[in-house]
């Protein structure tokens, strides 16, 4: 499916659309403007990115914010404000037309998802819209028309981001910079270096590129997504072991990105503090790929019973919009229904090809989720399941405690699988210098300062970033809006 087809798939109207599609359209539509809403952006944009990746084309996200909208509400009232938003929405819709899809994100924030358009073309396109807005006066009712100004921020896939979350973050950063730099302008995320709005350093952290873990990451891939499968290949279980702030989660997230870039299906489960109800971690994890991939959701939905759907509906609300089989008269308890549903979902994912399952913060994951993974993977005849656990070590003589607990929770896998331990060590001075370079681009630090930073942080990436943030806040490292000094 192309990006255009992915976008169009949720836009049918009667008489072509089924009742379920009409219901889904209403869920994705802003009531005031008739544009798509932030729910559409959250659940459909990831699928559009996947389609763009397969089609090897560009997607741009332009985030927009009205300048001074609050004054309209305060001066003319909320009804006038709503009229302004509605008419502005029509203006965006008419301009974007067949080049993408307009969205009302929240309040006076709008967006345009532009397909088959690289960043320079998107900049020219939105510059044209800004000129159109500046030349217009928008009706707010009672014979009153007002001029308006807007700020626009643009980022592109794949130039600036590898996934929807990064694309949204960077277009939002560009929008923030536009507003902080004078408003009524279009700002694009830079091709090189970090974009920092005047007076705001929060966009610098965390450092997104992994630093100091290249060899470990290569080894981790050799035991997961790069390993040979098929034939007599033995199941492998990778354990990524590290303390707080050592980069354990960052490494696992990077593994996930690498897998998705290759087209592998992924499940990323993480422990939820104080949430130990059966299967809560795994239900949340499987909901993500299903919410993001409408074709996959429809394929798997036909395999689920009505009662199984009901147990998953709170995490996968779109299930309620799809045609369902008649309910079964046979009573089953919740745990049985969820177990059956999870089994069908994982088999459905495996039909797509290879599957990577990541369980981060395994000490917080509910036992039912761990037992399910233990049973499903160890008893599966497929060798196409890659498995990695994130294990948080504890201080003062308890480094193996969480690891031992995990091994007890997955006895079948522990017995029949080859175990690979990926242990994260403190970063050295060279890696710390690289982190500074990733943030500032070129600022050099003396050997004495570098040694002090390594000593005070203990080589912990999270602590290093914290100390750098403190140095920037205190003016020891300065950014003047253009350069670091």
Mean pLDDT of the chain: 84
**For residues 18, 19, 21 and 23, what is the CA-based torsion angle, rounded to 10 degrees?**
170
pLDDT, residue 420, reads 94
Confidence of residue 16 (pLDDT cuts 50, 70, 90): low
Q: What is the mean pLDDT of residues 289-299?
A: 83
Domain 3-197 identical in fold to domain 214-423: no
Task: Give the tens place of pLDDT for each residue, 263-282.
Answer: 888 999 998 776 678 898 99
Yes or no: say if 36 and 8 are a contact pair by the CB < 8 Å rule: no
Q: Tokens 């059956």 — which residue?
A: 340
Which CATH number among 3.40.50.1820, 3.40.50.2300, 1.10.8.60, 3.40.50.300 corresponds to the domain 214-423?
3.40.50.300
Task: Give the tens place of pLDDT for each residue, 391-429.
Answer: 988 644 444 678 888 989 999 999 989 999 999 888 888
> Which residue from 289, 222, 288, 286 is spatially nearest to 255, judged by alpha carbons?
222
Q: What is the mean pLDDT of residues 205-220?
A: 79
Beta bridge partners of 240: 390, 422
> Which residue from 143, 183, 195, 159 is spatially nearest to 53, judged by alpha carbons?
159
**With left for phi above 0 and alpha for psi between -120 and 50, is residue 327 left, alpha or beta?**
beta
pLDDT, residue 481, reads 45
**Helix 280-292 vs helix 294-301: crossing angle, to nearest 10:** 120
Q: What is the mean pLDDT of residues 349-356?
A: 87
Strands 109-115 and 418-423: unpaired
Q: What is the mean pLDDT of residues 225-230?
A: 84
Strand residue runs (E) in 12-58: none
Residue 47 pLDDT exceeds 70: yes
- Cβ neighbours of 343 (radius 10 Å): 14
Name the residue ranges covered by the structural domains of the chain. Answer: 3-197, 214-423, 429-473
Yes or no: say if 322 and 298 are a contact pair by the CB < 8 Å rule: yes
Cα–Cα dist 345/267, whole Å = 11
Q: How many CA atoms lie within 13 A of 81 on its CB side?
A: 15
Cα–Cα dist 13/23, whole Å = 10
In this structure, what are the phi and psi dihedrals at residue 318, rounded to the nearest 5 degrees? -65, -20
Which CATH number among 3.40.1280.10, 1.10.10.10, 3.30.70.270, 1.10.760.10 corresponds to the domain 3-197?
3.30.70.270
């Amino acid at each position: 499916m192309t990006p255009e087809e992915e976008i169009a798939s949720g836009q049918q109207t009667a008489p072509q659309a089924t009742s379920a599609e009409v219901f889904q359209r209403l869920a994705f539509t802003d009531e005031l403007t008739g544009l798509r809403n932030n729910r559409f952006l959250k659940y459909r944009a990831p699928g559009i990115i996947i389609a763009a990746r397969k089609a090897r084309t560009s997607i741009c996200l332009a985030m927009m914010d009205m300048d001074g909208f609050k004054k309209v509400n305060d001066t003319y009232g909320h009804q006038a404000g709503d009229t302004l938003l509605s008419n502005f929405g029509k203006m965006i819709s008419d301009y974007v037309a067949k080049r993408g899809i307009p969205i009302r994100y929240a309040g006076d924030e709008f967006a345009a998802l532009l397909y088959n358009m690289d960043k320079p073309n998107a900049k020219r396109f939105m510059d044209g819209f800004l000129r159109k807005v500046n030349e217009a006066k928008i009706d707010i009712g009672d014979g009153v028309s007002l001029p308006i100004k807007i700020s626009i921020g643009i980022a592109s896939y794949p130039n600036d981001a590898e996934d929807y979350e990064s694309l949204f973050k960077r277009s939002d950063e560009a929008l923030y910079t536009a507003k902080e730099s004078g408003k009524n302008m279009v700002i694009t995320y830079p091709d090189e270096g970090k974009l920092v709005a005047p007076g705001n350093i929060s966009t610098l952290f965390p450092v997104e590129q992994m630093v100091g873990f290249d060899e470990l990451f290569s080894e981790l891939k050799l035991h997961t997504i790069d390993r040979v499968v098929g034939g007599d290949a033995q199941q492998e279980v990778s354990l990524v072991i590290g303390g707080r702030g050592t980069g354990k989660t960052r490494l696992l997230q990077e593994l996930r990105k690498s897998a998705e870039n290759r087209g592998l299906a992924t499940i990323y489960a993480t422990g939820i503090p104080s949430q130990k109800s059966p299967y809560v971690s795994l239900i949340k994890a499987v909901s993500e790929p299903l919410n993001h991939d409408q074709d996959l959701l429809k394929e798997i939905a036909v395999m689920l019973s009505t009662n199984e759907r009901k147990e998953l509906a709170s995490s996968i609300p779109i299930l309620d919009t799809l045609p369902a089989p008649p309910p079964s008269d046979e009573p089953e308890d919740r745990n049985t229904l969820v177990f059956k549903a999870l089994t069908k979902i994982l088999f459905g994912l495996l039909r797509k090809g290879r599957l990577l399952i990541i369980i981060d913060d395994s000490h917080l994951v509910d036992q039912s989720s761990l037992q399910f993974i233990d049973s499903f993977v160890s008893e599966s005849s497929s060798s196409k399941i890659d498995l990695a656990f994130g294990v948080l070590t504890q201080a003062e003589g308890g480094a193996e405690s969480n690891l031992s607990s995990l091994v007890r929770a997955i006895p079948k896998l522990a017995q029949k699988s080859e175990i690979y331990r990926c242990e994260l060590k403190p970063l050295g001075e060279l890696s710390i210098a690289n982190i500074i370079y990733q943030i500032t681009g070129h600022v050099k630090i003396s050997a004495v300062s570098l040694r002090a930073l390594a000593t005070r942080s203990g080589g912990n990436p999270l602590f290093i970033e914290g100390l750098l943030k403190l140095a920037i806040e205190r003016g020891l490292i300065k950014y003047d809006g253009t350069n670091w000094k």
